[in-house]
Amino acid sequence: MPIQTACLRRIPFILSAFCESKGFMDTHCTDSAIFFQVFDMVDIGLVILDRDLKVRHWNRWMELHSGVRADQIVGSYVFDFFPNLKRPRFLNNCKAVLTFGNFCFFSQKLHHYLFPFRPISTFDSEFKNMQQSCTMGPLRNSEGGIDYIFIAVHDVTESVNFERKLVALNMIDALTGINNRRSLESHLKDEVDRYKRYGRPLSLIMFDIDHFKDINDTHGHQCGDFILQEIAVIIQRSIRTEDILGRYGGEEFCCLLPETPLASAAVLAERFREKIAKTTFNYACADISVTISLGVSSMTQEVVSAEMLLKKADEGLYRAKNAGRNKTVVQA
C-alpha cells in the first residue's frame, strides 16, 4: 500500500484520538485551529455529525465534490441534503457507533458509495457516481462519552476502474475481442448450475476452421489472425445478446446458448456454417474462402455436467471432421 494512502487511512483514528484529548468543539484552542486547517486540506472527505445526525463539520473535500458549501449544510440534518442515507443500514450503524462506540465500514464492493458524487473524471469510466470506501466511528469527549460521529470518505473510483479493466483483460481473448477460455468456462459453469436449478434448455455449439494450418502456411500467420477475427465478428453478429461466444483455443470456438433446445441450436449451427462458407475473406489482395465444422450438444438427463456437455460437442465436431468437414453434427 502506498505510504500516502496508508497515512490517509489513519486520519479517522488520529481524529478520534485528538478529539478525545483536546475537546473537539473548543474552537478557541490553538491546537484545534491548527487541526481544522489540516482537516480541510486532506485529500479525503471528512464529515462530523452530532447525536441528532446534524452536520457539525463538512470539510473542503466534501464541499468540492458535493457542490454543497459548509455554511449551507452545517446545522442541518444530513438527510436534508442526502435523503439516500435515510435507510436502515446507515441509521443502524449510526446507532451502533453512538451507543457502543463501534467503528463501521462501508466497502465499495458492497455499497459502491454513501454520497452520490460525480466521479472526478468521467473519461473512460463506467460509473455514474464516484465509488467510495467509507469509515464511520465515534468521537469521544474528555470524559469518554460519545458526542459525535465522524465519516471518512475515500474516493476509490480510479482503483476500481483499474481493477475491472484487469479483470476484463483476463477474461477477453486479446486477438478476437470475445470471451477467452477462462471466461467461457466460468460462464459455462454458471449456466449449467442454472440448468440444474430450473431445468431450462441449455445447448452448446463447438466449431473450428477447416484446414486452418493450410491458411497459415499459404498466406501467413497474420492472415490466419485476420480470419479468426473476421469469423468472430460474423458469429457474434449472428447470436443473441444472452448467448456467449468464446475462443476455446487456436482456431476452435464455442458458443453457449442458454434457453435453447438442441433442435434450435442445430438450426443456428447450420446458419453459422452457411454464413462462413458463403463469405469471401479478402486479405492482402487475395480472396480466401474457408469453411467450418461444427458439433452441437445439449444438457439432458444423461448429459449432467459442463464437462459432459463439452465432450459431447467435441465428439460431434470430430465426427463432422471425419465426415469430410464443412458439416454440422448433432451429438444427442
Active site residue 251: yes
* Domain co-membership, 230 together with 265: yes
* Domain co-membership, 238 together with 269: yes
Determine which one of 126, 185, 251, 252 is catalytic.
Answer: 251
Measured between alpha carbons, how far is 282 from 239 in angstroms, rounded to an integer? Answer: 24
* Domain co-membership, 11 together with 125: yes
Rounded to the nearest 5 degrees, what angle is found at the Cα of 330, between the Cα atoms of 327 and 332?
165
3-state secondary structure of 307: helix
Let me know: does 329 contact 322? Beta carbons within 8 Å.
Answer: no
* Domain co-membership, 275 together with 199: yes
- If you count them, how many residues does the chain have? 332
Number of separate domains in the chain: 2
Report the 10 Å Cβ neighbour count for 241: 5
* Domain co-membership, 110 together with 204: no
* Domain co-membership, 107 together with 198: no
* Domain co-membership, 323 together with 192: yes
Residue spans of the chain under pLDDT 50: 1-8, 21-22, 27
* Domain co-membership, 153 together with 177: no
Let me know: does 192 contact 299? Beta carbons within 8 Å.
Answer: yes
Residue 166 is predicted with a pLDDT of: 83
Let me know: does 295 contact 320? Beta carbons within 8 Å.
Answer: yes
CA distances (Å), 132 to each of 53, 93, 119, in order?
20, 17, 10
* Domain co-membership, 47 together with 73: yes
* Domain co-membership, 196 together with 121: no
End residue of a domain, out of 145, 163, 181: 163
CATH label of the domain that carries residue 255? 3.30.70.270
Residue 169 C-alpha cell reads as 483483460
Residue 170 is predicted with a pLDDT of: 85
Let me know: does 127 contact 158? Beta carbons within 8 Å.
Answer: no
Give residue 118's identity as a one-letter amino acid code.
R
* Domain co-membership, 123 together with 40: yes
Residue 13 is predicted with a pLDDT of: 56
End residue of a domain, out of 138, 163, 188: 163
Residue-number span of the structural domain to which 310 is assigned: 172-330
* Domain co-membership, 117 together with 208: no
Rounded to the nearest 5 degrees, what angle is found at the Cα of 331, between the Cα atoms of 326 and 332?
145
End residue of a domain, out of 163, 192, 226: 163
CATH label of the domain that carries residue 89? 3.30.450.20
